[in-house]
Amino acid sequence: MTISNLLSLSRLLLSPFIMVFFSQRNIYGVFTLWALAAITDFLDGQLARKRGEISDLGKILDPIADKMTLVFSFLSLMIWYKLPRWFGAIYITKELLQLTGGLILIRKKRKIIASNYWGKTSTFLFFVGLFLFSLDLEGSSIHSWGLIILSLGLFLSLVAFFTYSRNILKK
């Protein structure tokens, strides 16, 4: 197990605590976990490339850790912060389809698809949007901008999904 993989694994294991902090209305705890997620996400990629430790396990752990962090965040915002249910439903359904497709691809073709630009950009936008939206200043422009940025992230996430799907079906 490489340091990069340990960082991804720690991010994955910390992700459920996002819901715990949200349920307690401990926004500082949530922001701390998001900051740790961002730092470990950045570091695991940098270390893997710099040390030549890019691995199949890392290609699986890193995006799953990101997705679980986002899923727990979206679920929390739907429950406690009035994020529209349709928004979370679209995101979570897309992630389940993508996870299922990825598992089938790994099982049948022994191939792991790396994340693409659209997916990485949508993840960044999701975290910016989540931060702004969770400030819970309903009616404020910050809250509204959070929803706009989340919507853009969702759109790019769907573009990434269709890009992955098209590329897989071509092969």
pLDDT digits (tens, 9 = 90+) for 98-137: 888 777 777 776 666 666 778 889 988 998 999 898 886 5
Cα gap 123→156, rounded to integer Å: 9
Taking a C-beta distance cutoff of 8 angstroms, is the pair 111, 105 a contact? yes
pLDDT for 86 equals 92
Could you tell me if residue 26 is left (phi over 0), alpha (psi between -120 and 50 degrees) or otherwise beta? beta
pTM above 0.75, yes or no: yes
Domain 3-170 carries which CATH code?
Answer: 1.20.120.1760
Task: Note the maximum CA span of the chain.
Answer: 49
Q: How many other CB atoms are there within 10 angstroms of residue 15's CB atom? A: 21
Per residue in 56-77, pLDDT (tens digit) is: 788 788 888 988 999 999 999 9
In tens, the pLDDT along 22-43 reads 999 999 999 999 999 989 988 9
Q: Give domain limits for the chain.
A: 3-170
Measure the CA–CA gap between 70 and 127, rounded to whole angstroms: 8
